[in-house]
Chain A
Amino acid sequence: MPEPRLIEVRKNVLKQNDLTARALREQFRAAGVFVVSLVSSPGSGKTMFLEKTLTLLRQNYRVAALVGDLATENDAVRLARSRAPVKQITTGTLCHLEAAMVQNALREWNLDDLDFLFIENVGNLVCPSSYDLGENLRLVLISVTEGEDKPLKYPTIFNSADVAVVTKMDLAAAVEFDWQAAYGNIQAVRPGMQVSKLSAKTGEGMEEYIGFLKVRLDELRVGVSA
């Protein structure tokens, strides 16, 4: 019986994904396209929010979206109403998007023709947190109907995100949503995170949010030309 021996390896398990994500990020930077990924639990209003975002941005910018879904193409059909180019990534049994899936989905698109690209991840507050997609901004959505303690239950995904958006504010009073509590919980797991509140349905808060995206695009392009 040979004696067991320990050899040091020190290898990142997600190295391949991280490398692909890094290559994507460089491609996005070179093309001057600002990439936003959306994560949330199912039913938080991602698709509605994205449909409104695409419609508003399309007036002045070239926008497109990739949308991840386990099985259906319903979201892509809904988003197509914005008249922006939309491509579905059907993940099958996979509960999240990976960088290689984004890379494959983008093959037929010319990034130079875009200003903004949105990537809607599979509705899931757990799995997407481990995978870098090369995005410039990861946005986590939480709807007022979900309860103020969502950030405390899923600290990892909130911590992996850059900004948070509270959706369905038109329902806030009906469900007695406590904004201060929700804001405090987000700050507890991600100190300093910017939090917007809006309603894609009524349009409340959408203009400010679109303004924020425009500023971020300008910043990216200044960085590229500098």
Chain B
Amino acid sequence: MTMHELSIAMSIVELAEEEAERRGVQVTAVHLRLGALSGVMKEALLGSYEMACEESPLKGSRLIIEEVPVAIVCSRCQTQRPIRSIQLFCCEECGTPASEIVQGKEIEVFALEIAECQSPV
């Protein structure tokens, strides 16, 4: 079974590596915001992350995933609301069908946990 989670994991590692190099730091953990509509499975991504870290400066680092639920703008309530479920795109509050999605698609490296590199003596 081929998984796009591996290519996503490799992009995460690449992105974190670039940031780490630019700032001269060592990454110990990557914090990721993952939307419920991102099309990426959390478990598969966690498994792939370890593989993607092999032979990179991030080897041994952790991936910490924050799951982001879907939010819509309800045309009736005129405000941001959650949906009833991923199988029912209706305003949780009033049940109006909703199509304007404002949250839930993100695959975002939110923060890096770092250890300062010690300057060579």
- Judging by beta carbons under 8 Å apart, are B89 and A130 in contact? no
Partner of B89, one of A2, A4, A6, A189: A189
A96 within 8 A of B: yes
- Judging by beta carbons under 8 Å apart, are B2 and A93 in contact? yes
Partner of A13, one of B107, B111, B113: B107
Closest B residue to A152 by beta carbon equals B87
Cβ contacts under 8 Å, A70 to chain B: 2
- Judging by beta carbons under 8 Å apart, are A7 and B114 in contact? yes
- Judging by beta carbons under 8 Å apart, are A130 and B38 in contact? yes
Give bound CA distance, A146 to B110, whole Å: 39
- Judging by beta carbons under 8 Å apart, are A6 and B113 in contact? yes
- Judging by beta carbons under 8 Å apart, are A130 and B111 in contact? no
- Give B84-106 interface residues, CB cut-off 8 Å to A: 86-90, 97-99, 101, 106
Q: Interface size class for chain A?
A: 35 or more
- Judging by beta carbons under 8 Å apart, are B110 and A8 in contact? yes
A19 within 8 A of B: no
Give bound CA distance, A126 to B3, whole Å: 9
Q: Mark A1-22, 1 if CB is under 8 A from B, else 0.
A: 0111111111111101000000
B47 within 8 A of A: no
Closest A residue to B9 by beta carbon equals A13
Closest B residue to A126 by beta carbon equals B39
- Judging by beta carbons under 8 Å apart, are B4 and A13 in contact? no
- Judging by beta carbons under 8 Å apart, are A188 and B88 in contact? yes
Interface segment among A78-86, A153-161, A173-181, A209-217: the answer is A153-161
- Give A127-164 interface residues, CB cut-off 8 Å to B: 127-130, 152, 155-157, 159-160
- Judging by beta carbons under 8 Å apart, are A7 and B38 in contact? no
Partner of A129, one of B11, B31, B39, B118: B39
- Judging by beta carbons under 8 Å apart, are B40 and A95 in contact? no
- Judging by beta carbons under 8 Å apart, are B28 and A4 in contact? yes
Using CB atoms and an 8 Å cutoff, list the residues of chain A in contact with chain B: 2-14, 16, 70, 93-96, 126-130, 152, 155-157, 159-160, 187-192
5 contacts between A and B (CB under 8 A): A4-B28, A6-B111, A9-B111, A157-B39, A189-B87
Additional 13 contacts, C-beta under 8 A, given A4-B29, A12-B107, A127-B39: A4-B28, A6-B114, A14-B8, A14-B107, A94-B7, A95-B2, A95-B3, A127-B3, A129-B39, A130-B4, A155-B86, A156-B39, A188-B89
